[in-house]
Structure 1
Amino acid sequence: MIEVAIAVGLVSAGLAIFTALCLHLEKKYEEKVKEVEEGNERYNTIVENIPVGVYIFQNDKHVFVNDALEKISGYTKDELLSLNPLDLLHPDYVDRSMQFMESALKGDTKVYSCIIKFTRKDGECRWVELRMVPTIYNGDKAILATVVDITKQMDLESQLKESEEMFRTLVEKSLAGIYLIQDGAIKYANPKLAEMYEYHVDELIGNNPLDYVHPEDRAKVEENIRARIKGEIPRTPYRVRAVRRNGKTRINEVFGSFVNYKGKPAIIGMLFDVTDSVRINSLLEIINNINGVVIQEKNIEMLIKKTCRILYSFNDYKKVSIGVWKDGRFDYVYSLPKEGDACFDVKMSSETTIENKNNFNRALIPMLAKGNVKGVLVVDSYEQFLIDEVRLLQTLANNLALAISSIELDEVKKRAYEQIKKNIEQYAILVDHIRNPLATIHAFAELYVNDKEISNKFVVQINRILNVIEKLDSGWVESERIKKFLERY
């Protein structure tokens, strides 16, 4: 009996312990369930409030969507749950996304990430970053996806790309040579700069910019680069002589500024070829000097000689010749240098002609005054003639023609004056030679002609002659006035 009682006691104790353990486990289970529910609630709260669209795709439709996807798509949650995710994609991206979904559901693909276009309910297309991974939902295969609206970023990138493209186009198509110098080497050169030096762009990159500078100007350029890097001088432009591939020298105007490029000091700038404008300005100054001679000189030969000497001082001119045309031939020709006269081989024309010789160019410019050809200006140049240069030479040639016409007119006036002066003197002599004999005849008629009628006839004729003499006297007076007028003018 004692053994039975002990056994019953042990069983009772075991049942009590088991019951207590079950109660403890039940409590723990309830706590875990509550913890899971709270975790799910926290998860749902997070998923619903993050600014990223989230959905779960299963059996050809959405089985879960969050608030953010509702906002991104423009559909309500109920509408989304009735749609296939592919319905939200732009047609261009449907096939690729569908292939991934099929592959993921088969277990062949783990992660799919891409940037695609999303079509909202109102038809607006938005750029989104889509990430999809295979998962298990409610015990069955599904796809978990996140959707991030990146339309603003894509628009900004597009604008930035357009801005960069526009800037690149401006630089690449610029009429100015653009460069970037760093560490004593050319890091960038646009096509115009390469064209100015007669190289390809890739031939310039990495080279020392001083290699393309005239030896006499290299020290100046080197100092300007150093001073700009140090910030010692502002963006003041300066001129420098550059050497092309063919060895010819050109004058460039340089604009450079300090920049920080890839964390290191550099110089970015522009080059303009001002050779032609410098050439025209120099020629204009020379022609202005010639115009002073044209105004003052009154001798045709001296005018031509002085003009040739001044014009020949222009560095680019190999030879200058001027021929004065008169009576169908060259009346006077002068050339510098004095080896032969180019004008002798020139066929007179009223049109300007440019000829390309073996090692120089020749401009034949008619000297026109009121449509009449007064001569020709012949200029031989080592360089190609510029349009503005030819226009300046045409103006000079016409000014010379007008000056020659003016000098010729002055010579005609001078000869006319001398003739008038001579005529006046002859008037006075002629009148005296006529008046004196008439006085003698008049006295003879009155004293020695007894026939009064005949004497009167003599007197009448003498008076008529005297009237003519009086008119000659008045003509002499008028001639004196003309003489004095010509002396003044």
Structure 2
Amino acid sequence: MNYNSNTSKLKDDLIKELNECKRRVSELEKIEVERKKIEKELKESEERFRKMFEISPDLLALVDKDGVFIEANPAMRRSLGKNPVGKSIFEVLPKEVAEKRMKRIKGVIENNEVVTFEDSRDGREFVNTLLPIILKGKRYCMVIAREITEIRKMNKLLNTINEINSLIVYEKDSKRLFEKASKLLANLRDCYSVWIGLRENDDVFQIAYYGELKPHLEKMAIKDLACFSEAINERRAIIRKKEERVKTCPFYDPFKNHSCLILPMNVDNETLGFLVIYSTYILPASDEIGLLQTLANDLAFANRAIELDEAKRKAYRQIEKNIEEFAILVDQIRNPLSIISGTAELEVKDEEVRRILLEGVGRINEVVKRLDKGWLDSEEVRRFLRKYLT
């Protein structure tokens, strides 16, 4: 009896132990499934991060506390012109830029803080974000940079165009308008000098210039300048890179290192002149050229408007002079008529002759009255013109 009891208990214990093992195995299987799931998710996450890192247009890099590049995405490598991995930032960047960035990188890692700042290198401008990151127990600095050179250029160009548009509204002298416009454009970073000339028959005359070295003569024949002729025929901006100017530009020698952009000043299906920009840098992109061409056309329209306004003022001055002479002429007619009338009544004895003379004087007086009325009407016209043209 005792034997059977012990056997039964042992059996029950074994069953319990077996069930416990099964439960543990089941839990382990679940843990293994969960582990594999997590591993898969981590791998997928890592792959997504790696793809994002590789294809990101932003400049991305991982740098250690000594300023050595651990990782760099293709955008960063393209921007630097080399693969910086394994190199110190002092080997990759200009000394002054490297020193400032190294100081910021150390601060980010030591203080565990995020820093955003702007700087420049080789004439290019960047906005940078540095953030601390821990990988395998070690602290690193993640660099996220974006080049803003073109944005800044476009913003400055738009501001300059807005200033010139304000001048177009308020400036009533073409020469002053062109001089101020050329100065504003020449102050853009990419512009070495700006020249503006207006057409007169088959020649072009300089109206305004601003820059380091005067590139053109005061007067030039269009037929001698292939770029001007092309701009007239095509009615669009013409680009002449410095390499091309060797063959085509008569002003190549003093401007060996400069490319130029020729913008025809078009209005009413006519090219009034040219806006020429010389640059030591890369010439503007197509969207910037589009804005500059619109500006050149606006300047042409302003010039035409100023010419028309001056013509109106000149016409008004002539009308005013004519009206004054008209009044004097009427008085000069009226005074002799009074003398003729008085003389006829007092001195002419022949009644028929006197009648004929007085009738003639009467007819002339009627004409003078009509002239007087015309003068009054002209005065109304003069007051109207004076209101809008003076």
Distance in 2 (CA, whole Å) between partners of 1:161 and 1:360 is 53
Structure 2 counterpart of 1:221, from 83, 101, 113 = 101
Distance in 2 (CA, whole Å) between partners of 1:482 and 1:216 is 72
After superposition, residues 328-343 of structure 1 pair within 5 angstroms as 329-335=203-209, 336=211, 337-341=213-217
Does the aligned pair in 1 maintain the 2:131–2:141 contact within 8 Å? yes
Give ranges in structure 1 of 5+ residues lacking alignment: 1-29, 55-67, 73-128, 130-146, 244-248
Say whether 1:262 aligns with 2:111. no
Does the aligned pair in 2 maintain the 1:212–1:242 contact within 8 Å? no
After superposition, residues 91-106 of structure 1 pair within 5 angstroms as none
- Identity of counterpart residues, as a percentage? 30
Comparing 218-227 with 316-325, which one deviates more in the overlay? Answer: 218-227
Report what 1:165 is aligned to.
47
Give the CA deviation at 1:325. 2.6
Alignment CA distance shift 1:313-1:37 (3 Å):
same
Give the CA deviation at 1:386. 1.9
Distance in 1 (CA, whole Å) between partners of 2:50 and 2:43 is 10
After superposition, residues 168-187 of structure 1 pair within 5 angstroms as 168-183=50-65, 184-187=67-70
Distance in 1 (CA, whole Å) between partners of 2:95 and 2:188 is 23
The structure number with the bigger radius of gyration is 1
TM-score, normalised to structure 1, is 0.65
Report what 1:191 is aligned to.
74
After superposition, residues 225-374 of structure 1 pair within 5 angstroms as 225-231=105-111, 234-243=113-122, 249-327=123-201, 329-335=203-209, 336=211, 337-341=213-217, 345=225, 346-347=228-229, 348-349=232-233, 350-358=235-243, 359-374=257-272
TM-score, normalised to structure 2, is 0.80
1:316 match: secondary structure: coil
Give the CA deviation at 1:50. 2.6
Q: How many residues align?
A: 361
Distance in 2 (CA, whole Å) between partners of 1:340 and 1:485 is 45
Task: Decide which structure has greater strand share.
Answer: 1
Alignment CA distance shift 1:371-1:466 (3 Å):
same
Distance in 1 (CA, whole Å) between partners of 2:161 and 2:312 is 29
Does the aligned pair in 1 maintain the 2:128–2:146 contact within 8 Å? yes
Does the aligned pair in 2 maintain the 1:252–1:272 contact within 8 Å? yes
Does the aligned pair in 2 maintain the 1:324–1:375 contact within 8 Å? yes
Does the aligned pair in 2 maintain the 1:242–1:251 contact within 8 Å? yes
Report what 2:89 is aligned to.
209
CA RMSD of aligned residues (A): 3.3
Give the CA deviation at 1:484. 3.7
Report what 2:310 is aligned to.
411
Distance in 2 (CA, whole Å) between partners of 1:475 and 1:331 is 45
Distance in 2 (CA, whole Å) between partners of 1:153 and 1:265 is 27
Alignment CA distance shift 1:339-1:309 (3 Å):
same
